[in-house]
Structure 1
Amino acid sequence: MFIYKRRVKFYETDGMQVVHHANYLRYFEEARVEYLREGKLDLTELMDEGIVFPIVEVDVKYHQSARYDEVLLIKTYLRKVDRARLVFEYEVVSEKSGALLTTGHTVNTYTDMHTGRIVRLPKEKLTALIDLSKGDRE
């Protein structure tokens, strides 16, 4: 598990200072990118090689609302990792209360940016990420 910590910004909320539902997808993305960075998978390097990393599936369940200025912990789990795709699960939790606010998952594939076809990454590019995420799959 990787934990990404962030504070809710005012512009992410509606008139009642509740986080707009679409922002949770952004929180998932921020946490996912930091997880990959921790696992030594550099998205900029992949893009330089012509490989992009689109989401092909997303699911979100809202349990409770996050509010302006609340500190959130986005717990991120890499449930499946192979040379063609990654499956992440997320739990958004209030740091102060410990309440579970939102859960979700995403599926990403590695895709050639010019052809749109799925590509397989060399196993050595995934070694650190596999090691980092081992506990997420046990």
Structure 2
Amino acid sequence: MSTRRRAREIVLQLLYEADVNDPRSDESAKQFIRSRLQGRKALTEFAYKLLMGTLEHRNEVDAHLSKLASHWTLPRMAVTDRNVLRLGGYEILFGDTPGRVAVNEAIVLAKRYGDKNSPRFVNGVLDRLYKELEAKQAKS
């Protein structure tokens, strides 16, 4: 497993936790990430940046996802799917990760942690988001 993929898994755990409970403190989150990534500094920073960015831009990402998830509202989605979409959406809209990579990484997370329909659902929503952003950038 790629180390960045492992970092995304840890961020997904924290996003899931923040979705169903009160989010932990920034320091506690960073400590959790550091312990799971065995103190690897660059990876810890990558994961922490993903977590904080996703949480900070959650409303904006949710607005995009709500428009693109045909016949689904965010509260109706499985918690895992919703947070995989948020993470992937953040990476596409605000992150440094190439859009295609963000979509593929989200699909891998959906396969691993979602149900049998999750990968297809995540792929459909994030692919639409990526193509929408790509078209918008091509016009400017």
Query: What's the TM-score, normalizing by structure 2?
Result: 0.30
Query: Hey, which of these two has a bigger chunk of helix by percent?
Result: 2
Higher relative contact order (CA 8 A, sep 6+): 1
Query: Hey, which of these two has a bigger chunk of strand by percent?
Result: 1
Query: What's the TM-score, normalizing by structure 1?
Result: 0.30
Q: Which has the larger radius of gyration?
A: 1
